[in-house]
Chain A
Amino acid sequence: MAVILQQTLNGLQLGSVYALIALGYTMVYGILRLINFAHGDIFMIACYIGFFASGAFLARHLPTWAVFASTLLTSMVLTALLAMLIERSAYKPLRYAPRVSAVITALGVGLFLEHFTLATLGPAPRAIPPLLPAANYNMGGLTISSLQLMIIVISIILMLLLDTVVQKTMTGMAMRAISFDKTVVPLMGVPVDRIISLTFAIGSAVAAAGGILYSQAYPIINPYMGVRIGWWAFIAAVVGGIGNIRGAMLGGYILGFVEVFTPTILPSSTYRDFVAFTILLAVLIVRPTGILGRVAAQKV
């Protein structure tokens, strides 16, 4: 029992990170119908930014909480800028091209980011210093670390914040309007370009937050880390219903539990990719629009 509770907690922690990254996939898909395959690598870049930023802030002998806060902020802002740059230079020219072109471009951008990082920073893994207090509390066989709680709590706060932005603010309304109809909305005075840029920025900033939190739990980073985590978050977005923000959160937690509980059911944790992608395939075959996605009718 204690083991299951412990694993549930681990699942929640991992699921929070997946959910944060899945949000970026889903927001961009919702507004542009583009699967931004580069998103996982944007997450990786965010971790690298976090690595250099935390180093710089630590050198200034700030208190740890201040280092964490400023690292988080720096990474979120810089990653958002990078995403906006990618959107402007690579995706915008293809906004009215066949969607296939845009998706292939996204794959290309992702690989570019990976290899560019590899070429400039080298393949050697680096470790991000711990910035969050890591005290362990024992509760009847169950070990709860303050780090774990912090990750879960910060993630949930961010998600609630995002959900409020999308549901309640003018910007969020504009986002939903554009995802509904891209041709008419500009006529109503909605600045489409700006809203799309903003969507990329917010999605990537949230992924960056996920990255910083993730690297507090798993401090080793390398240029390829975005591949696996990116794919998992992507599966989370699809399973929950891509384009649907609450779906992404739900999917994130589902995937978190899948990862944590796979080794207890199957012989080894190396099966986890197999399990995740099989779930993805099954969802796509049975309910292509995911758990919370809407079904679009075919037009003749």
Chain B
Amino acid sequence: MHSDVLKSKRTLLLIAAGLALSFLVERSGLVSSYVLQILMYVGINIILTLSLNLVNGYMGEFSVGHAGFMAVGAYMASIVTVWVFRNSLGWLAFPVAILAGGAAAAGTSLIVAIPSFRTRGDYLAIVTLAFNMIVKSLLENIEALGGPRGFLGMNRLTNLVWVYVWCAITIYIIRNFVYSNYGRAMLSIREDEVASNLVSVNTRQTKVLVFVISAFFAGVAGALFAHLVQFINPRTFSIQKSTDILVMVYLGGIGSIFGSILGATVYTVLLELLRPLGVWRWVVGPLMLVVLMITRPTGIMGLREFLGFVPREERAERRKEGTAIAAASR
């Protein structure tokens, strides 16, 4: 018990240190604004990757339209800051806008969640794709939101501290969800949906829950993104964007928090480093995805987790895993 308190204090300290560091980096001018921008992209991509990993990696469903949720969040949050708050209140309005973006995205996720009761695999992939296209097409047609020209007028409210805070919240919430009754239900859907339903798991409720949480964080990422670039248009949230998120998920590893962080970081930084290649840079992502799928379809960390992201009471069993299998085979 004593050491538990000590350890949880250490975790809190680590999180606080990260916060302080992000504040320092943001304010001190230690890094160039270009590097700062990349760091923020990394953070936003971590949120996107983790949220998609929940559906694709942990639940084993197959969503390929994640950018659609991001779009809903981005537009909603921008509407809140520009129209509702009229760019007043500065950063005070920002959490409200972010939450509104997340909530709006979560609401629309039902369009995808409900068909998932009856269809899965490729058919659900088509549903999510259609969703992505419908969102993009609707935004292009709503003149009030700028139509194809896009929406602008947001202040640059996003900074590294906000990104850090939301990354930490996303990791914390998703980790808690994964290691709960609902999280185990989600894993059992991936393993065998019919059996899951037949050992008392309410698979429908679980699916809705997972889609809602996943979409919420995609919406949050969209809100942060919109207030970083200060200009959004429907084309930003195309299938291309969804594919980028898929690459990050499958690069880092399905069903792994650490994997998502790794995948988002490596991919974002890599694309920046490849900037000198010009248009050829865009060939890299798809090519990587194909090679990855053929050589290591579960990604670098596939289904494995860095113990730091496993709640303490679950760690004991994880450590024993190796030895028990050896014992079983004897």
Which of B122, B140, B194, B278 is in CB contact (< 8 Å) with A270? B140
**Which residues from B are CB-within-8-Å of A56?**
none
Within the complex, the shortest CB–CB distance from B137 to chain A, in Å, comes to 4
Cβ proximity bits A250-283 to B, threshold 8 Å, 1 near / 0 not: 0000000000000000001011011001101100
**Which residues from B are CB-within-8-Å of A285?**
114-115, 118, 127
Within the complex, the shortest CB–CB distance from B70 to chain A, in Å, comes to 17
- Residue A2 at the chain B interface, CB threshold 8 Å: no
Q: How far is the CA of A231 from the CA of B122 in the complex (A)?
A: 15
Q: Which 3 A-B pairs have the closest CB atoms?
A: A108-B289, A111-B286, A112-B286
- Residue A100 at the chain B interface, CB threshold 8 Å: yes
Q: By the criterion CB–CB under 8 Å, are A298 and B246 in contact?
A: no
Q: By the criterion CB–CB under 8 Å, are B134 and A108 in contact?
A: no
Q: Given A277-B134, A284-B115, is A107 in contact with B246 using a C-beta cutoff of 8 Å?
A: yes
Within the complex, the shortest CB–CB distance from A165 to chain B, in Å, comes to 25
- Residue A103 at the chain B interface, CB threshold 8 Å: yes
Q: By the criterion CB–CB under 8 Å, are A103 and B125 in contact?
A: yes
- Residue A119 at the chain B interface, CB threshold 8 Å: yes
**Which residues from B are CB-within-8-Å of A101?**
293, 297
Cβ proximity bits B231-251 to A, threshold 8 Å, 1 near / 0 not: 000000001100100110010
Q: By the criterion CB–CB under 8 Å, are A93 and B240 in contact?
A: no
Q: By the criterion CB–CB under 8 Å, are B134 and A112 in contact?
A: no
Closest partner residue, chain B, to A33 (CB atom): B122
- Residue A90 at the chain B interface, CB threshold 8 Å: yes
What are 10 residue pairs bridging A and B, where the CB atoms are less than 8 Å apart in the complex? A90-B294, A98-B297, A100-B56, A100-B125, A103-B64, A107-B239, A107-B246, A109-B286, A284-B119, A285-B115
Which of B111, B121, B137, B148 is in CB contact (< 8 Å) with A100? B121
**Which residues from A are CB-within-8-Å of B247?**
108
Q: Given A35-B122, A103-B122, A111-B243, is A273 in contact with B137 using a C-beta cutoff of 8 Å?
A: yes
Q: By the criterion CB–CB under 8 Å, are A281 and B131 in contact?
A: yes
Cβ proximity bits A15-45 to B, threshold 8 Å, 1 near / 0 not: 0000000000000000001010000000000
Q: How far is the CA of A109 from the CA of B255 in the complex (A)?
A: 24
User: Which B residues between 91 and 132 are near A, CB-CB below 8 angstroms?
Assistant: 111, 114-115, 118-119, 121-123, 125-127, 130-131
- Residue B169 at the chain A interface, CB threshold 8 Å: no
**Which residues from A are CB-within-8-Å of B34?**
none
- Residue B173 at the chain A interface, CB threshold 8 Å: no
Q: By the criterion CB–CB under 8 Å, are A112 and B287 in contact?
A: yes
Closest partner residue, chain B, to A90 (CB atom): B290
- Residue B285 at the chain A interface, CB threshold 8 Å: yes
Closest partner residue, chain B, to A34 (CB atom): B122
- Residue A300 at the chain B interface, CB threshold 8 Å: yes
Which of A97, A109, A238 is in CB contact (< 8 Å) with B290? A109
Q: By the criterion CB–CB under 8 Å, are B243 and A107 in contact?
A: yes
Where chain A touches its partner, the secondary structure class is: helix
Closest partner residue, chain A, to B125 (CB atom): A103
Residue among A108, A119, A274, A300 with most chain B CB within 10 A: A108
Cβ proximity bits B260-288 to A, threshold 8 Å, 1 near / 0 not: 00000000000000000011101101111
Q: How far is the CA of A119 from the CA of B287 in the complex (A)?
A: 14
**Which residues from A are CB-within-8-Å of B88?**
none
Within the complex, the shortest CB–CB distance from A239 to chain B, in Å, comes to 11
**Which residues from A are CB-within-8-Å of B288?**
108
- Residue A288 at the chain B interface, CB threshold 8 Å: yes
Q: By the criterion CB–CB under 8 Å, are B293 and A99 in contact?
A: no
- Residue A7 at the chain B interface, CB threshold 8 Å: no
Cβ proximity bits B203-244 to A, threshold 8 Å, 1 near / 0 not: 000000000000000000000000000000000000110010
Q: By the criterion CB–CB under 8 Å, are B285 and A270 in contact?
A: no
Q: How far is the CA of A119 from the CA of B278 in the complex (A)?
A: 9
Residue among B126, B127, B239, B285 with most chain A CB within 10 A: B126
**Which residues from A are CB-within-8-Å of B287?**
108, 112
Which of B62, B118, B140, B283 is in CB contact (< 8 Å) with A288? B118
Q: By the criterion CB–CB under 8 Å, are B62 and A103 in contact?
A: yes
**Which residues from A are CB-within-8-Å of B130?**
277-278, 280-281, 284
- Residue A115 at the chain B interface, CB threshold 8 Å: yes
**Which residues from B are CB-within-8-Å of A90?**
290, 294
Q: By the criterion CB–CB under 8 Å, are A231 and B283 in contact?
A: no
- Residue A118 at the chain B interface, CB threshold 8 Å: yes
